[in-house]
């Protein structure tokens, strides 16, 4: 089946790709990465997986709800695709916003959008009206499919001419599905047609829309999942990151389906509730943030069914990694990825893990460390992390493209070192390196020292301007109890830090907060701390 005639295809995304000379170099060295010219990733992840593993296998679990089989999800997605085209006028290339927590109906909508040849723009369910309007301003949305419980806040989109259609209730989209067939001739998109727009999480201000092709969706399954995670069809996945956070999209949805496995969809869960879900469903593979793993340990979780735990989004403290291994016998896979790259590109698993290291380049990717002149830094010397592979940064009509892609490399904004064996060691975000009195101080190293104190629940470290030293190390600390911080407590923490790390690195200023500023995905917003400081 060919694409619809070009007159009926919305070419907005293709026309707003960055100039080709600003793209990163894309490499497809592994045989499994050589995809056909015509490829619809929804077809590959549902129809093709069913052909291999069967339709009656469990696919989507949800606490308190009936399990959907692969056949159930396929039928729902196909009906959604029919409703999008037949009733809502969607044509290939249209941008369709998806708003709701991880659940079976959001999943059916995601696949239905792709089966119709449209572009999925999945958002955090709790974004406010102004944030959604910014997304529309960038992506030029054509339609919004919204969980019936999360319609509030979308009024601004209606004012811009975006049609809002509810799903998950008796009316809206679900009413349109009643007479739709359970089969669908998926649009035969090109492998390099845009499948999704993923927005960066706003840790540095205005979000950027990253453009990912149909082949990219499969590429992260055929690299990190296939070669590092190595799931089987008998595995049960879960995780807390929403689909809008590409760490969650891959770990909670794409990787299990690619393997013919099942996944437990969690709309919202505290770490204690997540531990209970893991036990209740016999979860073998979990994706969540370092803070959640630490909190599960504090609650005494043992997690006997768990075989693989993946952490990303922020630095994993070595103490948390070791404590989790001691308590559960599971070595956390500490990966680094980026929305611009779609998922993890450096990691290690099992016996390949070197404690303290993030890992090696995932098969299919190349990574190095660049010095300040753009040359390759020797082993042991810190510099900018640079990566290339089958996925890469393509911002939607954004001048910041030229800052992220340099000389064919994706420059992630992280400072790393590497050793002779190809293992990479995280130092800091490049803008989190603090130069004080001529010393280079990595903020995460100071944070990790403070986190070893039993009364420190969370902390964030930044550099603040200082006339004498150039910059001072400042720590923002959240204590484990409800008592307020005090000058005496600050001095206590400073002395503790000096016992853990070289004294010149200790925080000379300590400020106590009730909570750290974070994005909806849980990422720390250091830029807000810098603004306040």
Residue 106: the pLDDT is 98
Residue 127: the pLDDT is 83
What are the boundaries of each domain within the chain? 6-418, 439-532
Distance separating alpha carbons of residues 446 and 432, to the nearest angstrom = 11
**pLDDT more than 70, % of the chain:** 96
Q: What does the block give as tokens for 333?
A: 């896979």
The lowest-confidence range among 3-12, 84-93, 177-186 is 3-12
Beta carbons within 10 angstroms of residue 198's beta carbon: 23
Residue 291: the pLDDT is 80
- Reported as a single tens digit per residue, the pLDDT across 112-163 is 999 999 999 999 888 888 889 999 999 999 999 999 999 998 989 988 999 9
**Biggest CA pair distance of the chain:** 73
For residues 168-193, give the mean pLDDT. 95
pTM: 0.85
The lowest-confidence range among 8-12, 351-355, 429-433 is 429-433
The lowest-confidence range among 50-64, 232-246, 456-470 is 456-470
Residue 494: the pLDDT is 95
Residue 528: the pLDDT is 85
For residues 362-385, give the mean pLDDT. 95
Distance separating alpha carbons of residues 279 and 328, to the nearest angstrom = 13
Is the pLDDT score of 397 beyond 90? yes
Report, at the CATH architecture level, how domain 6-418 is classified.
Answer: 3-Layer(aba) Sandwich (3.40)
pLDDT band at 256 (very low <50, low <70, confident <90, very high): very high
Is the pLDDT score of 355 beyond 60? yes
> 265 or 156: which carries more pLDDT confidence?
265
Distance separating alpha carbons of residues 430 and 356, to the nearest angstrom = 18
pLDDT band at 64 (very low <50, low <70, confident <90, very high): very high
What is the CB-side half-sphere exposure of residue 354 using CA atoms within 13 A?
13
Contact (Cβ atoms closer than 8 angstroms) between residue 478 and residue 515: yes
The average confidence (pLDDT) of the chain is 92
Helix or strand or coil: residue 171?
A: coil
Helix or strand or coil: residue 452?
A: coil
pLDDT band at 205 (very low <50, low <70, confident <90, very high): low
For residues 414-429, give the mean pLDDT. 91
For residues 512-533, give the mean pLDDT. 82
Residue 524: the pLDDT is 81
Burial of 506 (C-beta count, 10 Å sphere; 0-12/13-18/19+): buried
For residues 490-504, give the mean pLDDT. 88
Cα-flanking dihedrals φ and ψ of residue 466, to 5°? -145, 130
Q: Which of 247, 412, 205 is nearest to 334 (CA)?
A: 247
For residues 169-175, give the mean pLDDT. 93
Distance separating alpha carbons of residues 528 and 533, to the nearest angstrom = 8
- DSSP letter for 146, please: E
Q: Which of 483, 379, 367 is nearest to 414 (CA)?
A: 367
**R_g over Cα of the chain:** 23
Homologous superfamily of 439-532 = ANL, C-terminal domain (3.30.300.30)
Residue 443: the pLDDT is 83
For residues 175-203, give the mean pLDDT. 92
Is the pLDDT score of 502 beyond 80? no
- Scan for tokens 């630095």, then name that residue: 315
Residue 435: the pLDDT is 72
Is the pLDDT score of 503 beyond 70? yes
For residues 69-80, give the mean pLDDT. 98
- Reported as a single tens digit per residue, the pLDDT across 15-44 is 999 999 999 999 999 999 999 999 999 999
Is the pLDDT score of 470 beyond 90? no
Residue 179: the pLDDT is 94
The b/e string for 82-118 (b: 16+ C-beta within 10 A; e otherwise) is bbbbeebebbbbbbbbbbbbbbbbbbbbbbbbbbbbb
- Scan for tokens 């660049």, then name that residue: 370
- Reported as a single tens digit per residue, the pLDDT across 270-303 is 999 999 999 999 999 999 988 889 889 999 999 9
The residues near 31 (Cβ < 8 Å, ≥ 6 apart) are none
Residue 9: the pLDDT is 85
Residue 124: the pLDDT is 87
Distance separating alpha carbons of residues 332 and 80, to the nearest angstrom = 37
Helix or strand or coil: residue 31?
A: helix
């Amino acid at each position: 089946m060919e694409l619809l005639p070009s007159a009926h295809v919305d070419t907005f995304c293709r026309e707003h790709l960055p100039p080709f000379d600003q793209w990163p170099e894309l490499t497809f060295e592994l045989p499994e990465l050589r995809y056909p010219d015509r490829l619809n990733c929804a077809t590959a992840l549902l129809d093709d997986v069913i052909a291999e593993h069967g339709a009656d296998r469990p696919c989507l679990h949800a606490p308190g709800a009936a399990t959907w089989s692969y056949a159930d999800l396929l039928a729902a997605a196909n009906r959604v695709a029919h409703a999008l085209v037949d009733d809502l006028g969607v044509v290939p290339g249209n941008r369709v916003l998806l708003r709701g927590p991880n659940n079976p109906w959001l999943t059916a909508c995601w696949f239905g959008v792709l089966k119709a040849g449209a572009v999925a723009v999945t958002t955090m369910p709790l974004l406010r009206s102004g944030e959604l309007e910014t997304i529309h301003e960038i992506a030029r949305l054509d339609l919004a499919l919204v969980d019936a419980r999360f319609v509030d806040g979308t009024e601004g989109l209606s004012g811009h001419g975006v049609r809002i259609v509810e799903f998950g209730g008796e009316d809206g989209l679900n009413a349109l599905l009643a007479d739709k067939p359970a089969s669908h001739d998926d649009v035969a998109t090109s492998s390099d047609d845009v499948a999704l727009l993923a927005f960066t999480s706003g840790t540095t201000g205005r979000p950027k829309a990253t453009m990912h092709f149909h082949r990219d969706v499969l590429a992260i399954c055929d690299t990190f999942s296939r070669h590092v995670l190595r799931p089987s069809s008998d595995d049960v996945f879960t995780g807390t990151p929403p689909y809008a956070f590409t760490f969650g999209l891959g770990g909670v949805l794409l990787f299990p389906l690619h393997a013919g496995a099942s996944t437990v969809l969690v709309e919202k869960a505290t770490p204690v509730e997540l531990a209970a879900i893991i036990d209740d469903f016999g979860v073998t593979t979990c994706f969540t943030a370092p803070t959640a793993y630490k909190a599960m340990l504090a609650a005494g979780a043992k997690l006997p069914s768990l075989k693989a735990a993946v952490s990303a989004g922020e630095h994993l403290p070595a103490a948390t990694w070791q404590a989790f291994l001691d308590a559960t016998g599971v070595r956390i896979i500490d990966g680094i990825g980026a929305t611009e790259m779609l998922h993890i590109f450096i990691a290690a698993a099992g016996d390949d893990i070197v404690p303290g290291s993030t890992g090696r380049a995932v098969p299919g990717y190349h990574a190095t460390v660049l010095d300040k002149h753009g040359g390759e830094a020797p082993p042991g010397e810190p510099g900018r992390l640079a990566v290339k592979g089958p996925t890469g940064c393509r911002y939607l009509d954004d001048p910041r493209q030229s800052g992220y892609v340099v000389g064919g490399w994706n420059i992630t904004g992280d400072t790393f070192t590497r050793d002779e064996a190809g293992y990479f060691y995280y130092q800091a975000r490049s803008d989190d390196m603090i130069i004080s009195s001529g010393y280079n101080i990595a903020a995460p190293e100071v944070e990790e020292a403070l986190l070893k104190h039993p009364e420190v629940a969370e902390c964030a470290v930044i550099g603040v301007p200082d006339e004498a030293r150039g910059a001072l190390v400042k720590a923002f600390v959240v204590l484990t109890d409800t008592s307020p911080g005090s000058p005496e407590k600050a001095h206590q923490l400073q002395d503790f830090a000096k016992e853990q790390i070289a004294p010149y690195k200790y925080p000379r200023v300590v400020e106590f907060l009730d909570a750290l500023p974070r994005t909806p995905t849980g990422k720390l917003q250091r830029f807000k701390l810098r603004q306040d400081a």
